[in-house]
Structure 1
Amino acid sequence: MKKIYLTLLVIGQCVFAQNKTEKDSTKSQELENIFVTANRTATQRKQTPVAISKLTAKTIDETKATVMNEIINKVPGVLMTNAANEGHMMSIRQPITTNAYFLYLEDGLPIRPMGVFNHNALLEINQFNLQSVEVVKGPASSLYGPEAVGGTINLISLKPSIDPEFKFGFQSDNQGNRRFQAAGGATVGKIGFHVAGISTVQEDGWMINSDYTKNNLNARIDYNITAKTRLISNTMWGIYDSSTNGSVNEYDFYHRTYKNTTPFAYRYSEALRTRLTLEHDWNEKANSYLTVYLRDNTLEQNPSYGIRWSPTVNPTKATGEINSNNFKSYGAIGQHTQKFEFLNTQLVAGALYDYSPVSYWAYLVEMQANLNPGDPGKQTVNNYEITAERPDVKLTDYTADIYNTAGYAQISIQPIEKLIVTAGARYDNMNVDYKNAMDQSTGTKVYDKLTFKAGINYNPIQNTGVYANYAQGFAPPGITSIFRARPGTGGNTGVPAEFYYNLEPATFNNYEMGGWVSLLEGKLRFDYAVYYMEGKNELLSVKIADNSTDYRSVGETSHKGIELGGNYRFLNNQFNFRFGGTVSKHTYIDFQLSDKPSDPIQNLDGYEMPLSPKWSGNSELTYYPKWLPKFRTSIEWQSVGNYYQDQINTFKYAGYDIFNFRAGYQWKGIEIYGNIMNVTDKIYSSYVSRANTANAQSSYTAMPPRTFLIGLQYNFSLKK
């Protein structure tokens, strides 16, 4: 993927040369319309038959984000919810979910191997090392493989600067979050380097027992062997250590009694990712690259979401777990791009091999549930206490060797002027050799799929384009789901453990059309997409009465919506208005929830999927006054509509509207900035869920009250 960076630079320089007599804003606009994710090569928007958005370095820098969702939520059609301490869930053409339907890339390479999805993967990212963020909405499995279903997020890191550059800074807020950050790089002769690091500490925050630390370091070295050959090394290392506060009940949520009911819960992770890429330009029409990589991840936790408590069975007793999930990956990916004069044809082809040994264990923790004294119904817990750790009672215990192999190809042609046709295919094979110590079984699970995509772009005039596409998606079940004992079995239940060996891969068919327009010499940009996606065998988590999770494969689902986004610069470019959002509906078409005659609701055909906001959007108005250069100020609106909390569609959450304010000023190399998050001090939850039983209680993931952040940064450059 490193070839992408040089290609992007070359195209940007060409655009600059061709338009040197135009206004600077027009040149910037040209560059912003180049993407590297949609077709795995640097591609203009008008050649891309998908819904794709890009967040530029300017947008990322001005956001001064504490957590990644503050950046990602600026993409139309994307809702990344904060689950506290940089944990998160995602919604892109899917409900808010932790399912493996989103692919997270770092410079085009998946952060995790297929089958080892983690919905919190983006908490490992160094926000101070981002050049841009590109998001493809809808299936991209034909290029990037399984899990690229709802959306693909590619985090593109900073590359070495030509001239020496250095920046460092500090930011802090009134909720106990402090971060030190530094980055710098240069090019000396044939060698360029860039290093970026952050160190985050949160203490005594708005929720009791919610402290955490995060340290990340990124390093990149580019060696220009010749004018046509480059060797690039990129390494990421990070440690994350956090208390993990859980959800709160309805009374505590609305009274802002933000106590942590699980003060013992924690998450500790270490991550190392390193890669070496060799790029070569054969000529002006052909180039290749080969990347070899290593991933090494360790994750241990006592999760609050693992607590099982039933108010009707034994209200003073509960159970939890301590678990450890570890993997390494050794892999290689190679790609060749070839252009032909005939019909302006471009062919991209590549192959991947990934070997990832995985281990996972979990054991029982016994707890005392201390009920709220003011709750006569004994339906809520004031706090939990650990009474005994039981390493002798295993809940999960397996090892597996995952072998992922894939081959892909995509071709684009221009049969007539202004019309571009694109088609692609990919074959993926995931082979899992496992040993399950819980039932002493060994075996092999194989998941494979050939996925296709096809699309057209029609650009009738220079500043307008439309597209249509059909794309397939494919997502095998995560192996943590396969080897998790079913509720009511294993552990200390006295019932032999039963597992999810028969879970099927989920498949999707996506039909989409959209377009874009640029008016007023690029000052007004607008894009839209209309999609319908049908899913089969979607893996869903069914929350039962004691907070246990049962996995079910849904027969069929439908996902449909409209995504809108745009940008308008006015009053001599002093004001910039960015707007975006999505209206969507996610529905069960064929879902047999229960086979028990005693259950009041057994079939959910036609029901809405829970955690599916009918509307979500993010818009922002920024002011750059001419009378005070290098000053900026903005107001941002984040809006989330109502949705059902449960699968049986009985309780709704009203959603929320919050406002964020940002301002910053640069004087010479010194920048001072401040953010006010949740300006109106809104009481809101990023995630509200409820089991399907009549006496279930809603669980609220409370978000911070009004937060004031201030930062100081020094930027040093020897640019001539």
Structure 2
Amino acid sequence: MKQFYILLIAFLAMRVSYAQELTGRVADARTREALPGVSVNLIATGIGCTCNTQGQYTLSGTKGDDSLKISYVGYITRKIAVSAAAQMPVIYLEASSTNLNEVIVSSSREKQRRTEAPVAISTISPQILQETKATTLDKVLNKVSGVYMVDLGNEQHTMAIRQPIGYKSLFLYLEDGIPIRTVGDFNHNALIEVNMAALRNIEVIRGPASSLYGSEAVGGAVNFITAAPTLVPTAKVQLEASNWGYKRTDFSVSDTRGKAGFYVGGYYADQRNGYMDHSNFHKLAVTARTDVQLNERNKWTTTATLINYKTDQTGGLDSAHFFAKDYRNFQTFSYREVKALRIRSTLDHTWNESNHTSITAFFRHSTIGQNPFYAIKDIRNTLKAKGEINSDAFYSYGVIVQHKKDFNWKQASLIAGVSADYSPATYYANYIDIAKDAAGYYVGYQATDSVLTSYRVGLLNTAMYTQFSFAPVENMRVVAALRYDRMDYDFDNHLPPSAFTGAPSERNNFNALTPKLGLTYNLQHNRGLYANYSRGFAPPNISELYRGVKVPVLKSATYDNYEAGGWFAFAQQKGYVDVSIYQMKGSNEIVSVRDADGSYNNRNAGATTHRGIEWNARYTPVKSIFLRTSGTYASHIFDAYTENGKTYDHNDMNGAPKWITNTEITWKPACLKGFRIGGEWQHISGYYMDAANTAWYNGYELFNARAGYQWKGFECWLNCMNIGDQLYAATAEKSAYGKSYRVGPRQTFNVGVAYTFVGKK
């Protein structure tokens, strides 16, 4: 009997060692957030499972001598022995830097593979964000093909995506799929309100995206996706400084306990004694996020972002001062101050494998107060000028409801949604007297009790949208989308109407129906083609519609876009190329037209054509070397345009460089793990400075270098921007007042250190 029990115990022990249950989690190696949907398979038996919403997997029947294969779209596949996996509560996957087949969310507001989206879309990965160590967003966005984000100093900016450099409401900026600012109150400096330190990644759609996101998504839409809670306790602190008095501190802390996780992160930046006088600024940005997995079918996510920012304003220099490298600022008192708060709360409910609903409620508040340099106007034959101090503010209360249903027919899916956004906005401007010295510098001002503008606008945007996709034949996918927007403006002028104080109080409304039709064709082996037609629209902004006009008569500008492209992997998946070709025509564009009496009015008098080709290529010839090049060649033409009473039909649009390229090489030597060094070349070709095509700016070449070293939780880096200290203009313009050059950043060295603490579960 004793021998029988011994044999029984031995048999059971063998049974346990032969077949046991294995449980663990899978997370992103850089962000340490859970990766749901990862495939975990036993290589010998083929038994497998998919990670749940919290990145957890459970496998039964595992054997000690077997191995796991962990794979996920856009990540490098790992193989781990079962015995080793049993000792790893969290398995980390590294994102692939040369794999186009990644997961995106911006193209359909739902997760999908990049290769299934018939749009020109690019992703700025967590790796790029972490290794670039950007102090401004243009340092990473300019790596995207077809994108030129213009650095106007101290995080101020404007954008050019399938459009010339300009300041119109042709770009939509999103945070987790929600517009950062309300419709009708566009500000080209909107990205001041983004917390750079709390970003997981960025997705950029080039071309109209109005069929899903509505107005202003014309040249492109940029979606900033916030960091999610980490699976393990994580805390980080980062310090950096530059040779021009820039100092910055980043911080973050995150963890997940049971079904609830949290993330808090942000930064404080301060600039003193820069290369231009009167160019100081400071900014505090904080983001808090909680993710609660209520159960396997319900997830509740809440995010709040707070921004407090103030900067001195630096305007352009005339030719004499610019080329003499005289960086004295003509304005000594202009400033911009931004305060913003955004809160959104989303409930995701999965009904079954075929149905998913999300409900998002959001609140936004933004105030921009400024003494703007561009409002300063000289009074002839005197040492006097006039200007203004103004304030633009709004509150937003909104909701977005979306449902997705998958069908058992032709891999079909239907997305439908409704949204409502009520945003009361106010604008106030007060006249100031400005003193000017004999050298032309504005040295001070005197506030007055003269009110220039004072109004309130109730902005209501209601919309419904739908998108249907299916596979009519193998390897082909067709996507059709349609959105209807109605925008109601309830304008209340607090002053008597005039040519400057604004239009009489009244109500206006705008309607837009924006379609999209596209298809993708999979050529296999990470190769494919796509084509689409899409329409974008931009309603007049409240400043265009009501300020400085007698009667609001403007219509929405519309843009029709046709494009085709493809993606092609090569060299045993060591690299890929994606290419887009497009033509976009704009009509009813809003331009400022001079009337016979010498006054100016905004009118729907413009029409334009935009054509171009965009490319992005990545290649890793050997494991330690990474090559990337991206760019665009484009033509932007006035079909119909009148300025100051003169017609400029068929002229090149001003501020429109034909060539924009960004090329980078990075070396990560195998003999020194954690070390990286890289060089970057930014090329902006020449362009006309005015619509008459009478003045030309030659563009510029810019070279940057970055080096860094990471060992365990410690990291240090040194970045050198504009290595050759080249004199260049971020923007170059010509007007009736002469030529104006906005000085681009001079040679800048940024040095930083960081430490990341990672706990264990």
In the TM superposition, residue 690 of structure 1 has moved relative to its aligned partner by 1.0
1:698 aligns with 2:755: no
| 2:569 aligned residue (518, 539, 550) | 518
1:386 aligns with 2:441: no
Alignment of 1:320-339 (within 5 A): 320-339=387-406
Which residue of structure 1 lines up, in the alignment, with residue 516 of structure 2?
453
Alignment of 1:459-478 (within 5 A): 459-478=522-541
Match for 2:433: what amino acid? E
The number of residue pairs the alignment matches comes to 679
**d(CA) in 2 for partners of 1:667, 1:21:** 22
Match for 1:199: what amino acid? Y
In the TM superposition, residue 385 of structure 1 has moved relative to its aligned partner by 2.9
In the TM superposition, residue 227 of structure 1 has moved relative to its aligned partner by 1.1
The answer (yes or no) to whether the contact 1:398–1:435 under 8 Å persists in 2 is yes
The answer (yes or no) to whether the contact 1:26–1:521 under 8 Å persists in 2 is no
Alignment of 1:51-130 (within 5 A): 51-130=120-199
Which residue of structure 1 lines up, in the alignment, with residue 431 of structure 2?
364
SS of residue in 2 equivalent to 1:118? coil
The answer (yes or no) to whether the contact 2:431–2:449 under 8 Å persists in 1 is yes
Which whole-Å deviations, capped at 9, do the CAs of 1:378-426 have from their partners, x for residues lacking one?
Answer: xxx3x1133422232x322110111110000001100100110000000
**d(CA) in 2 for partners of 1:29, 1:349:** 33
The answer (yes or no) to whether the contact 2:98–2:576 under 8 Å persists in 1 is no
The answer (yes or no) to whether the contact 2:375–2:388 under 8 Å persists in 1 is yes
The answer (yes or no) to whether the contact 1:321–1:364 under 8 Å persists in 2 is yes
**d(CA) in 1 for partners of 2:270, 2:95:** 41
Q: Sort the Cα spacing of 1:590 and 1:27 in 2 relative to 1 into closer, same or farther, 3 A.
A: closer
Q: Sort the Cα spacing of 1:29 and 1:339 in 2 relative to 1 into closer, same or farther, 3 A.
A: farther
Q: Sort the Cα spacing of 1:156 and 1:524 in 2 relative to 1 into closer, same or farther, 3 A.
A: same
Which residue of structure 2 lines up, in the alignment, with residue 717 of structure 1?
758
| 1:484 aligned residue (543, 547, 552) | 547
Q: Sort the Cα spacing of 1:332 and 1:566 in 2 relative to 1 into closer, same or farther, 3 A.
A: same
Rg larger for: 2
Which whole-Å deviations, capped at 9, do the CAs of 1:109-162 have from their partners, x for residues lacking one?
Answer: 110111011110111211111111100000000000000000000001100011
**d(CA) in 2 for partners of 1:214, 1:134:** 24
Q: Sort the Cα spacing of 1:550 and 1:301 in 2 relative to 1 into closer, same or farther, 3 A.
A: farther
| 1:650 aligned residue (685, 689, 694) | 694
The answer (yes or no) to whether the contact 1:53–1:134 under 8 Å persists in 2 is yes
Which whole-Å deviations, capped at 9, do the CAs of 1:656-710 have from their partners, x for residues lacking one?
Answer: 110111000012211010100100100011001111x4xx421111022111110
Which residue of structure 2 lines up, in the alignment, with residue 489 of structure 1?
none
**d(CA) in 2 for partners of 1:421, 1:526:** 22
Which residue of structure 2 lines up, in the alignment, with residue 404 of structure 1?
461
Structure 2: runs of 5+ lacking an equivalent: 1-30, 40-49, 52-68, 81-92, 498-503
1:664 aligns with 2:708: yes
| 1:583 aligned residue (633, 638, 651) | 633
The answer (yes or no) to whether the contact 1:174–1:709 under 8 Å persists in 2 is yes
**d(CA) in 2 for partners of 1:719, 1:682:** 48
Match for 2:446: what amino acid? A
Q: Sort the Cα spacing of 1:45 and 1:308 in 2 relative to 1 into closer, same or farther, 3 A.
A: same
The answer (yes or no) to whether the contact 2:346–2:359 under 8 Å persists in 1 is yes
Match for 2:740: what amino acid? S
The answer (yes or no) to whether the contact 2:101–2:113 under 8 Å persists in 1 is no
Match for 1:656: what amino acid? Y
Alignment of 1:545-556 (within 5 A): 551-556=602-607
| 1:352 aligned residue (415, 419, 427) | 419
**d(CA) in 2 for partners of 1:173, 1:638:** 21
In the TM superposition, residue 543 of structure 1 has moved relative to its aligned partner by 11
| 1:628 aligned residue (669, 672, 676) | 672
SS of residue in 1 equivalent to 2:472? strand
The answer (yes or no) to whether the contact 1:482–1:499 under 8 Å persists in 2 is no
In the TM superposition, residue 292 of structure 1 has moved relative to its aligned partner by 0.6
In the TM superposition, residue 555 of structure 1 has moved relative to its aligned partner by 3.3
In the TM superposition, residue 640 of structure 1 has moved relative to its aligned partner by 0.5
Which whole-Å deviations, capped at 9, do the CAs of 1:57-85 have from their partners, x for residues lacking one?
Answer: 00011110111111111111000001111
Which whole-Å deviations, capped at 9, do the CAs of 1:596-616 have from their partners, x for residues lacking one?
Answer: xxxxxx211101110001111
Which residue of structure 2 lines up, in the alignment, with residue 294 of structure 1?
363
CA RMSD of aligned residues (A): 2.2
SS of residue in 2 equivalent to 1:423? strand
Q: Sort the Cα spacing of 1:241 and 1:32 in 2 relative to 1 into closer, same or farther, 3 A.
A: farther
Alignment of 1:22-33 (within 5 A): 33=102
**d(CA) in 2 for partners of 1:12, 1:541:** 54
**d(CA) in 2 for partners of 1:145, 1:668:** 45
The answer (yes or no) to whether the contact 2:563–2:581 under 8 Å persists in 1 is yes
Which residue of structure 2 lines up, in the alignment, with residue 488 of structure 1?
none
**d(CA) in 2 for partners of 1:499, 1:516:** 51
Which whole-Å deviations, capped at 9, do the CAs of 1:554-613 have from their partners, x for residues lacking one?
Answer: 331101111011101112x11101100001111111123344xxxxxx211101110001
Alignment of 1:125-204 (within 5 A): 125-204=194-273
The answer (yes or no) to whether the contact 1:321–1:362 under 8 Å persists in 2 is yes
The answer (yes or no) to whether the contact 1:288–1:336 under 8 Å persists in 2 is yes
SS of residue in 1 equivalent to 2:642? coil
| 1:307 aligned residue (366, 369, 376) | 376
Match for 2:755: what amino acid? Y
In the TM superposition, residue 29 of structure 1 has moved relative to its aligned partner by 5.2
Q: Sort the Cα spacing of 1:368 and 1:500 in 2 relative to 1 into closer, same or farther, 3 A.
A: farther
Which residue of structure 2 lines up, in the alignment, with residue 529 of structure 1?
580
**d(CA) in 2 for partners of 1:32, 1:565:** 14
Which whole-Å deviations, capped at 9, do the CAs of 1:11-45 have from their partners, x for residues lacking one?
Answer: 45559745756797786655862111111111112
Q: Sort the Cα spacing of 1:198 and 1:7 in 2 relative to 1 into closer, same or farther, 3 A.
A: closer
Q: Sort the Cα spacing of 1:414 and 1:231 in 2 relative to 1 into closer, same or farther, 3 A.
A: same
**d(CA) in 2 for partners of 1:504, 1:152:** 22
In the TM superposition, residue 482 of structure 1 has moved relative to its aligned partner by 1.6
Match for 2:373: what amino acid? S
The answer (yes or no) to whether the contact 1:26–1:522 under 8 Å persists in 2 is no
Which whole-Å deviations, capped at 9, do the CAs of 1:75-102 have from their partners, x for residues lacking one?
Answer: 1100000111110000000011111000
In the TM superposition, residue 263 of structure 1 has moved relative to its aligned partner by 1.1
The answer (yes or no) to whether the contact 1:8–1:42 under 8 Å persists in 2 is no
| 1:240 aligned residue (282, 289, 309) | 309
SS of residue in 1 equivalent to 2:197? helix
Higher mean C-alpha displacement, 295-304 vs 12-21 = 12-21
Higher mean C-alpha displacement, 31-40 vs 651-660 = 31-40
Which residue of structure 1 lines up, in the alignment, with residue 36 of structure 2?
10
Match for 2:690: what amino acid? D
**d(CA) in 2 for partners of 1:185, 1:637:** 36
Q: TM-score, normalised by structure 1?
A: 0.91
1:689 aligns with 2:744: no
Which residue of structure 2 lines up, in the alignment, with residue 492 of structure 1?
none
Which residue of structure 2 lines up, in the alignment, with residue 608 of structure 1?
652
In the TM superposition, residue 237 of structure 1 has moved relative to its aligned partner by 0.4
SS of residue in 2 equivalent to 1:627? coil
Match for 1:626: what amino acid? A
**d(CA) in 2 for partners of 1:129, 1:61:** 11
Which residue of structure 2 lines up, in the alignment, with residue 429 of structure 1?
486
SS of residue in 1 equivalent to 2:36? helix
Match for 2:701: what amino acid? D
Q: Sort the Cα spacing of 1:6 and 1:36 in 2 relative to 1 into closer, same or farther, 3 A.
A: farther
**d(CA) in 2 for partners of 1:66, 1:501:** 41
Q: Sort the Cα spacing of 1:512 and 1:12 in 2 relative to 1 into closer, same or farther, 3 A.
A: farther
Higher mean C-alpha displacement, 115-124 vs 31-40 = 31-40
Match for 1:683: what amino acid? L
In the TM superposition, residue 46 of structure 1 has moved relative to its aligned partner by 1.6
